Amino acid sequence: MRISDRLAAKQTFSFEIFPPKGDLPIDQALKVASELAADDPDWISVTFSAGGSGNSANTVSVSGAIERDTGTTALAHLTCLGSSREAVDLYLDALEEQGVTNVLALRGDRAPGKEVIDFAYASDLIAYIKDTRPEFCVGAACYPEGHFECDDFETSLEHLKIKQDAGADFFVTQLFFDNELYYRFREGCARWRIKTPVVCGIMPFTSVKQIQRMAFTCGATIPSRVIRKIVACGDDEDAQLEAGIEYACDQLVDLAENGVDGIHIYTMNRPEIGRAARRVLVGCNYLEA
Ligand code: FAD
């Protein structure tokens, strides 16, 4: 199933998981995927060495198993910084062999040893896949607060328009904790004539440490009401997780009421997060029971 077809037909609900690192067995990720599949998502996406985790080799096998074993559409991530066209071809061949034809085309973060070979930006990768593999549906990343390397918000939108023009079929947002920032971004997209569907990515906070990491790695604004909520939990980690899920669920209800194209949950491989999101989205009639 092409994700773009699904987005054209309905408001979507989807999950992200990450595969295990290196040679670790993939069974745990598959168990998570099958539990998440029970919540009937439109697709499950699988990250590619996110945060330098070195788990890219397992992205293909986990994505293939999602399609085969759970009957759910898989969206395989792919980064291109430091990759040649040949390496991208091999990756796409491997995906096709596994029956996976939805890919999230990313540049990836700059890191030592990751120089530009054939692709400088995600838009180069998008154009390459659209040109050489028309059978693939190609998604891309977008940033409601602008990308942290980009000097200003309008330039970030200009770069997003380049991704649309390169052929991106849909966008998935970076996580955000303040829906108003997303609505401002949506207005910006309209100004730049960006009409490609945008799926909102929501990640519940799970601990003080995780929220600090998010602020530094992706530049997400942490509203004071998030800080108040987490501080009220003291050192109780279960209470912090519960508060994070509750806050994310409030965000979901608000997004559902404001008519978004799709909702994507960064589950951090925790099926209980997916279940809570489904429950609240059924409660507000975004999803059918
Ligand atoms: P690009 O769109 O290429 O943008 C990178 C920077 O270059 C931006 O600052 C942009 O404004 C600028 N730029 C773009 N085009 C031009 C141009 N023509 N001229 C000048 N500047 C330009 N990372 C992983 O490693 N693995 C993952 O699985 C992963 N999954 C992700 C999923 C989502 C939904 C999101 C939002 C991010 C994900 N990331 C992942 C992180 C991503 O790799 C980083 O945010 C990375 O820094 C940028 O990737 P991009 O594809 O947005 O790059």
Task: Write the CATH number for 135.
Answer: 3.20.20.220
Residue 240's pLDDT is what? 94
- Asked if residue 148 is part of any domain, the answer here is yes
Q: How far is the CA of 235 from the centre of ligand 1 (A)?
A: 34
pLDDT of res. 163: 98
**DSSP code for 174:** P
- Answer whether residue 224 is part of any domain: yes
Residue 196 confidence (pLDDT): 98
Q: Does the Cβ of 183 fall within 6 Å of ligand 1?
A: no
Q: Rounded to the nearest whole angstrom, what is the distance from the C-alpha of residue 31 to the centroid of ligand 1? A: 29
135 lies in some domain: yes
Question: Each residue's pLDDT tens digit in the chain (289 positions)?
Answer: 999 999 999 999 999 999 988 777 889 999 999 999 999 999 999 999 866 655 677 999 999 999 999 999 999 999 999 999 999 999 999 999 999 999 999 999 999 888 999 999 999 999 999 999 999 999 999 999 999 999 999 999 999 999 999 999 999 999 999 999 999 999 999 999 999 999 999 999 999 889 888 888 888 999 999 999 999 999 999 999 999 999 999 999 999 999 999 999 999 999 999 999 999 999 999 999 9
| Whether residue 50 has its Cβ less than 6 Å from ligand 1 | yes
How many domains are there within the chain?
A: 1
Q: Does any domain span residue 288?
A: no
192 CB under 6 A from ligand 1?
no
Tokens of 229: 């909520």
Instruction: Indicate whether residue 122 lines ligand 1 (CB < 6 A).
Output: yes
What residue numbers bound the domain in which 7 lies? 3-283
Quote the CA–CA distance of 226 and 148 in Å, as a whole number: 21
What is the C-alpha to C-alpha distance for residues 259 and 270, in angstroms, rounded to an integer? 26
Q: So what's the pLDDT on residue 108?
A: 96
C-alpha dist (Å) from residue 65 to 1, 70, 72, 95: 15, 7, 9, 11
Q: Which residues contact 50 (CB under 8 A, 6 or more apart)?
A: 18, 77
Whether 18 and 269 have beta carbons less than 8 Å apart is answered as yes
**Does the residue 145 lie in any domain?**
yes
Contacts of 217 (CB under 8 A, 6+ apart): 51
Atom index in ligand 1 nearest the CA of residue 218 equals 45
Determine if ligand 1 sits within 6 Å of the CB of residue 264. Answer: no
Does the residue 204 lie in any domain?
yes
Is 97 annotated as catalytic? no
What is the reported pLDDT for 55? 60
Q: Is position 289 within any domain?
A: no
- Per-residue model confidence (pLDDT) at position 93: 96
- What is the predicted pLDDT for the residue at 212? 87
pLDDT for res 51? 63
Pocket test for ligand 1, best of 49, 81, 121, 149 (most atoms within 8 A of CB): 121
pTM of this prediction? 0.97
Ligand 1: nearest atom to the Cα of 160: 2
Ligand 1 centroid distance, CA of 79 (Å): 9
199 in contact with ligand 1, CB cutoff 6 A:
no
Q: Are 160 and 192 in contact (CB under 8 A)?
A: yes
Ligand 1 midpoint to CA 94 (Å): 23
